[in-house]
């Protein structure tokens, strides 16, 4: 498709890759670069032995590297078309991967390895070599695309343009970010994450002190839990 686009007209292209995804099977060539690498073991896991977990993580890393290679092909094509310097490139994912943490795999759970995703942006007017700590959501990409295209952003859209953050004009973006799926809702304020299940169970984690989410603080911090629960309720009313 990209090869057929006119070079004198604006265009938008979304490329979806199937991997990394289960089954985590890779070719011998993909595995070769990772066969001697030792990864950290999963957190709070009793399902497999260390060697099995390490081999799974090697395959996962090989699949990510393969995606990186494919992205490189698109960047090379943009450069060949003379469009690399005036194209905004965004690399993101729809979900993470538990990889055995808490004896869980794949996605659909509210732990950080599942709901945290990469977001890498480059292009004209975007600050280079910057790692931002701003709280952002994939929802914000919609408004960001419209903003860079000089389009109108509907007031009712629950999306905030990332352009001020990407340009370096501001460091903060959102006070809270939300995630919801199946039977749970979660809210994160940059340090504490509160999770609420439909059956009434709640979890509160201090990711600053407990990044692996092993200590539930709902009983120790009831006021904070209630505050974040209200934020979820207000978010759902707006949705």
Query: What pLDDT, in 10s, does the model give residues 1-49?
Result: 888 888 888 999 999 998 888 888 899 999 999 999 999 999 999 889 9
Give the side-chain half-sphere CA count within 13 A for 227. Answer: 9
What the block records as the tokens of 207 is 């990711």
* Domain coordinates in residue numbering, the chain: 175-239
Quick check: 189 and 175 in contact, CB under 8 A? yes
**Mean pLDDT along residues 151-172:** 94
Kindly provide the residue ranges of all beta strands, DSSP E only, lying in 35-183, ordered along the sequence: 89-92, 119-122, 177-181
Residue with tokens 């993470």, as numbered in its chain: 96
DSSP state letter for 177 = E
Q: What is the pLDDT of residue 32?
A: 92
Task: Tell me if the domain spanning 175-239 has CATH number 3.40.50.300.
Answer: no
The answer to whether residue 89 scores a pLDDT higher than 80 is yes
Name the pTM for this structure.
0.89
- Rounded mean pLDDT of the chain? 94
Q: Sign (positive/negative) of CA torsion 12, 167, 176, 215? A: positive
Neighbouring residues of 102: CB distance < 8 A, sequence distance ≥ 6: 42, 43, 44, 45, 111, 213
pLDDT over 90 for what percent of the chain? 87
Quick check: 227 and 221 in contact, CB under 8 A? no
Q: Sign (positive/negative) of CA torsion 87, 168, 188, 228? A: negative
What the block records as the tokens of 140 is 């914000």
């Amino acid at each position: 498709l990209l090869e057929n686009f006119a070079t004198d007209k604006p265009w938008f292209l979304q490329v979806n890759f199937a991997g990394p995804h289960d089954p985590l099977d890779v070719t011998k060539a993909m595995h070769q670069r990772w066969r001697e690498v030792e990864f950290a073991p999963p957190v709070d896991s009793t399902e497999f032995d260390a060697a099995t977990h390490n081999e799974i993580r090697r395959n996962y890393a090989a699949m990510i590297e393969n995606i990186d290679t494919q992205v490189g092909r698109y960047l090379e094509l943009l450069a060949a078309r003379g469009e690399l310097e005036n194209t905004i490139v965004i690399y993101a994912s729809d979900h993470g991967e538990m990889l055995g943490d808490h004896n869980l795999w794949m996605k659909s759970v509210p732990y950080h390895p599942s709901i945290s995703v990469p977001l890498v942006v480059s292009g004209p007017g975007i600050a280079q070599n910057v790692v931002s700590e701003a709280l952002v959501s994939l929802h914000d990409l919609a408004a960001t695309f419209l903003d860079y295209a000089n389009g109108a952003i509907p007031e009712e859209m629950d999306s905030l343009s990332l352009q001020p953050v990407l340009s370096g004009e501001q460091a903060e973006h959102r006070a809270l970010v939300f995630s919801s799926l199946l039977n749970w809702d979660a809210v994160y304020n940059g340090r504490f994450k509160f999770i609420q299940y439909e059956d009434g169970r709640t979890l509160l984690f201090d990711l600053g002190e407990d990044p692996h989410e092993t200590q539930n603080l709902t009983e120790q911090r009831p006021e904070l839990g209630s505050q974040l629960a209200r934020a979820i309720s207000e978010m759902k009313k707006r949705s």
